[in-house]
Amino acid sequence: MGTFLDRTLPILQGDGLEELSRPLISIAGLGGVGGGTFLNLVRCGVKRFRLAENGVFDPPDMNRQIAAFASTMDRPKIEVYAELAREINPNVELDLYPEGTTVDNIEAFLDGSNVYVGVIDAEKGQDVKAMSSGLIEKFHVPLFTAGAIGFGAIMVAHEPEGMMPGEFWAKVAEKSRDDGGLLPSFIADHFDETVMTRIKEALKSGKVPTTGVGGALSGTILASEVLCYLLKDTNLVKREVVFAPKFTVVDLLKPALEILDVNL
């Protein structure tokens, strides 16, 4: 009958799957980006996770969140994703933080982690996000994050010895004009102009527009980059992982995939 990894094995092979079975991946946020990232990693054979999420599904989630259905409305997201992961791989190891990440638990959440995926909603968790640089250095763990932008995505990752989030976004701000959009212009200018204009208009009413394509793409490129990091010592990965000051922009409307450098 086979297993869920039968079609993955020829590509990752035994040594690749072995590499993915050991690391502990800590994911803060199981929304449109985090939920897809999590299930993509589970389906590829990653086995050990810490998950933090305190939200419940509501109807607006259904346009982009992979586990948002009529049957999951009003249910805790972390509970639904745990069930789905165990249906894919009954042997998956999950350490759940249903209260989400807080200033009081973030250190316990990251202690012993090999990868930190930080995808808390943009308007939430500012106190925890402000701690990111110190946590990356203290626990010597790389931070990976991404966001859905229309029919595209942006992905930024930080390694412990490299450029920290504060420095990265300060440099982005230096290179940008202030136009009140979702993203600083240095980044926004690489996305479809019409989409960015429509997003900017929607923000005036307090709504952040998204699409299912952007959500799915964000969870895909983020999971892919985490896998490249985990498999960097195998003969499958022949490129460098994209860490700040470099970052990735993908827009399927243009279409384009660009590796940019905030220092250039």
Residue range 129-182, pLDDT digits in tens: 888 889 999 999 999 999 999 999 999 999 999 999 999 999 999 999 877 788
Give every residue of the chain whose pLDDT is below 70, as ranges: 1, 122-125
Note the pLDDT of residue 120: 83
146 phi and psi angles, rounded to 5 deg: -155, 165
Note the pLDDT of residue 182: 86
Burial class (CB in 10 A: 0-12, 13-18, 19+), 109: buried
Note the pLDDT of residue 215: 96
Name the fold adopted by 9-164+210-252+257-261.
Answer: Rossmann fold (3.40.50)
Note the pLDDT of residue 1: 56
The size of the chain, in residues, is: 264
Note the pLDDT of residue 186: 96
pTM of the full structure: 0.96
CA 95 centroid distance within chain: 18
3-state secondary structure 54-68: CCECCHHHHHCCCCC
* CA dist 45 → 50, 53, 137, 219, 225 (Å): 15, 22, 28, 16, 15
Note the pLDDT of residue 122: 65
pLDDT digits 0-9 by tens, 114-128:
999 999 876 566 888
Note the pLDDT of residue 179: 74
Q: Rounded to whole angstroms, how far apart are CA atoms 256 and 246?
A: 16
Note the pLDDT of residue 168: 96
